[in-house]
């Protein structure tokens, strides 16, 4: 088998049409049948998206979001060197679970989101700085 990695962008409906057609188009390749005769057999490729998402939420919700995305138990689907490159390019850092929760594990609270049949990998987080608000003098996340 061969794998081709590529990026695509464009209007959403055209991307969905491309995906639908890409995974349903047969192509014929020379093959040798069980009796040794040469044939042209029909093959299909498998299109599997490798998508990058950004989820924005208040900093206090990070432990719940990380638990929902199976941060502690996920198998890496992106090689470490590529993950490091993406982190540097996007200015991301590894989540510090101890700092976020005050303990060594994430809470047992998840969002009601189906993650069945998916491999999820958290690439990193980016946090807004806290600042002193002029109006009330309190420290809070800059939104």
Asked if pLDDT for residue 66 goes beyond 80, the answer is: yes
- What pLDDT was estimated at residue 143? 60
Greatest Cα pair distance, the chain, in angstroms, is: 83
Per-residue DSSP letter, 89: H
Q: Which residues of 102-124 are buried (b: 16+ CB within 10 A; e: fewer)?
A: eeeebeeeeeeeeeeeeeeebbe
Which residue ranges make up each domain of the chain?
Answer: 59-141
Containing 63, the helix (H) or strand (E) segment is: helix 62-68
Task: Name the pLDDT band for 105 (thresholds 50, 70, 90).
Answer: confident
Q: What is the dihedral of CA 46, 50, 56, 58, to 10 degrees?
A: 100
Whole-angstrom distance, CA of residue 128 vs CA of residue 57: 11
The CB density around residue 95, as the number of other CB atoms within 10 Å, is 20
Enter the pTM of the model: 0.66
- What pLDDT was estimated at residue 141? 65
- What pLDDT was estimated at residue 37? 92
């Amino acid at each position: 088998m061969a794998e081709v990695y590529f990026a695509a962008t464009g209007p959403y409906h055209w991307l969905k049409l491309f995906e639908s057609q890409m995974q349903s188009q047969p192509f014929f390749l020379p093959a040798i049948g069980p009796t040794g005769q040469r044939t042209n057999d029909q093959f299909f490729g498998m299109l599997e998206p490798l998508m990058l998402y950004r989820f924005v939420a208040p900093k206090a919700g990070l432990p719940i979001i990380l638990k929902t995305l199976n941060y502690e138990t996920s198998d890496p689907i992106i090689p470490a060197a590529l993950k490091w490159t993406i982190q540097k390019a996007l200015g991301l850092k590894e989540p510090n679970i101890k700092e976020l929760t005050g303990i060594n594990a994430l809470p047992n609270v998840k969002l009601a989101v189906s993650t069945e049949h998916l491999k999820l990998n958290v690439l990193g987080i980016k946090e807004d700085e806290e600042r002193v608000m002029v109006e009330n003098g309190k420290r809070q996340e800059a939104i």
